[in-house]
Amino acid sequence: MLDLQHQSDAKRHLAEWKVGALFMEAGTGKTKVAVDIVNASPCDFVLWVGPLQTIRQEHVTAEVAKQGGFKMPAMYVGVESISGSDRIYHEALDALEQHTCPFVVVDESLKIKNAEAKRTRRLLEIGKRVEYKLILNGTPLSRNLLDLWSQMEFLSPLILNMSLAQFKNTFCEWTRVTKTNGWRTYTKEFITGYENVDYLYSLIRHYVYKADLKLNITQHYRDYRYCIDEESYIEYQRIKEKFLDDEMLEWRNNNIFLEMTQKMQHTYCCTPDKVREVRRILAEDDVDPKRTIIFCKFIDSRELCQRLFPDCLVLSYQKDSLGLNLQEYNATIYFDKVWDYALRTQSTRRTFRTGQERDCLYFDLTGNVGLERLIDRNIGKKVTMSEYFKKATKEQLQKDL
């Protein structure tokens, strides 16, 4: 049963404004709300900007059609295409210019965050050309309040009425660290906290509707342990020792650390005991392979699971954790772990969403190496890879990995 209360509350909350934000958790029916708000407007055209994967595979158009569709012409554009293709960007601008009263909807609006990014600059330019705008997000509010500046600026500069620099000075606490590496000196800034948050919310509250997902079903989490094979373990240790060499660590580079952990994880992504654990899971009484999703991080592991478990739906975190409505499935196996807390959370909402009638089952596969435990610990604390690496000493890295 659709959460009609959330939907009617959201429409009523945003009825007085030409711009608005639906920060509704995945599965609460925000697409339905967006369709109704657009159709209730005097607009004659809709530009829908969202994750390319959901548009390319027509997930969004199918969902919009299921909610009754738009009463005016609509154009669907991938947010990645806005920054990556001059042609597509100018086609979107031309389409807006050709209509008297266009409406722009930006789905997964956390894509509008880094104010210096080409994607954000172009979306802000699109925003300047229309009066009616709506942003959608599956997270009630970002953990990083700095993301809110670009999103509110897209809706209207009058909401905050301050530059990015003024926003930082008003709401963010900063720490500046200056380091010298040989002849080069550089300074980095880190957000260490926030202040005046009540004032910030008072500025945006008229334009934002928030909703948490509440369903009469339960989410069950189960952990399955596996052992990596000897050959993979030897390669894992070789990569670890190479990275922990003093010369490599002098760089203290997040990209190097990410590359190193990716290579380490890739060494055992297809280890045989992992496959045996999946077979055990699929043999459980409450698991139906035809209602089971397997999330993979690497091409190798994805191809392996597609070949060995053809009845399951095998997906990729980066491509498929956002925007898909998969309520016909209720079991999810995490074949590979992922550092990104947001991706992990979003992946659970492919099944745990409005319309789901079965309890949702989530199975974690955890290998017997330090990296697996480290990822679990950081996900539990909502700590990103870069945040962990900034604070870790060489001794801590040696112990954790």
Residues 160 and 252 in one domain: no
Determine the pLDDT at residue 127: 93
Confidence band (pLDDT; 50, 70, 90) for 259? Answer: confident
> What number of other Cβ atoms are within 10 A of residue 325's Cβ?
21
- Boundary residue ending a domain (183, 211, 239): 211
The percentage of the chain sitting over the pLDDT mark of 70, rounded to a whole number, equals 88
Determine the pLDDT at residue 113: 73
| pLDDT tens column, 187-202 | 777 777 788 888 888 8
Q: Which amino acid is at 159?
A: I
| pLDDT tens column, 147-177 | 889 999 999 999 999 999 899 889 888 777 7
Is residue 263 helix, strand or coil? Answer: helix
The pLDDT of 241-245, averaged and rounded, is 81
Confidence band (pLDDT; 50, 70, 90) for 242? Answer: confident
> Over 50: is that where the pLDDT of 1 sits?
no
Confidence band (pLDDT; 50, 70, 90) for 307? Answer: very high
Q: Which amino acid is at 254?
A: N
> Residue 114, CB half-sphere, CA atoms under 13 Å: how many?
5
At 361, which CATH number? Answer: 3.40.50.300
The pLDDT of 295-322, averaged and rounded, is 89
The percentage of the chain sitting over the pLDDT mark of 90, rounded to a whole number, equals 42
Residues 379 and 276 in one domain: yes
At 108, which CATH number? Answer: 3.40.50.10810
Determine the pLDDT at residue 348: 83
Domain with 29, as residue range(s), is: 4-211
The pLDDT of 206-235, averaged and rounded, is 84
Residues 165 and 281 in one domain: no
Residues 163 and 263 in one domain: no
* C-alpha to C-alpha distance for 16 and 368, rounded to whole angstroms: 56
| pLDDT tens column, 350-362 | 888 767 788 899 9
Residues 58 and 173 in one domain: yes
pTM higher than 0.85: no
Residues 280 and 236 in one domain: yes
Confidence band (pLDDT; 50, 70, 90) for 77? Answer: very high
Residues 251 and 276 in one domain: yes
> Over 60: is that where the pLDDT of 381 sits?
yes
Residues 329 and 283 in one domain: yes
Determine the pLDDT at residue 322: 61
The pLDDT of 312-334, averaged and rounded, is 82
Q: Which of 106-110, 119-123, 169-173 has the lowest mean pLDDT?
A: 106-110
- Boundary residue ending a domain (211, 237, 263): 211
Q: Which of 70-74, 260-264, 331-335 has the lowest mean pLDDT?
A: 260-264
The pLDDT of 262-271, averaged and rounded, is 94
Residues 171 and 260 in one domain: no
Distances (CA, A) of 127 to 7, 156, 348: 25, 8, 32
Tell me how many domains the chain contains.
2
Determine the pLDDT at residue 321: 58
Structure-model confidence comparison of residues 63 and 228, the more confident one: 228
> Over 70: is that where the pLDDT of 18 sits?
yes
Strands across the sheet containing 45-50: 74-78, 45-50, 102-106, 132-137, 19-24, 208-211
> Over 50: is that where the pLDDT of 311 sits?
yes
> Beta strand 360-367 with 172-181: parallel, antiparallel or unpaired?
unpaired
Spatial neighbors of 313 by CB under 8 A, at least 6 apart, are 292, 293, 294, 326, 329
Determine the pLDDT at residue 213: 59
Residues 204 and 223 in one domain: no
- Boundary residue ending a domain (211, 238, 258): 211
Q: Which of 61-65, 189-193, 329-333 has the lowest mean pLDDT?
A: 189-193
> Over 60: is that where the pLDDT of 207 sits?
yes
> Over 80: is that where the pLDDT of 239 sits?
yes
Is residue 125 helix, strand or coil? Answer: helix
Structure tokens at 335: 């074949």
Residues 155 and 229 in one domain: no
Determine the pLDDT at residue 2: 43
Residues 206 and 257 in one domain: no
The pLDDT of 34-48, averaged and rounded, is 93
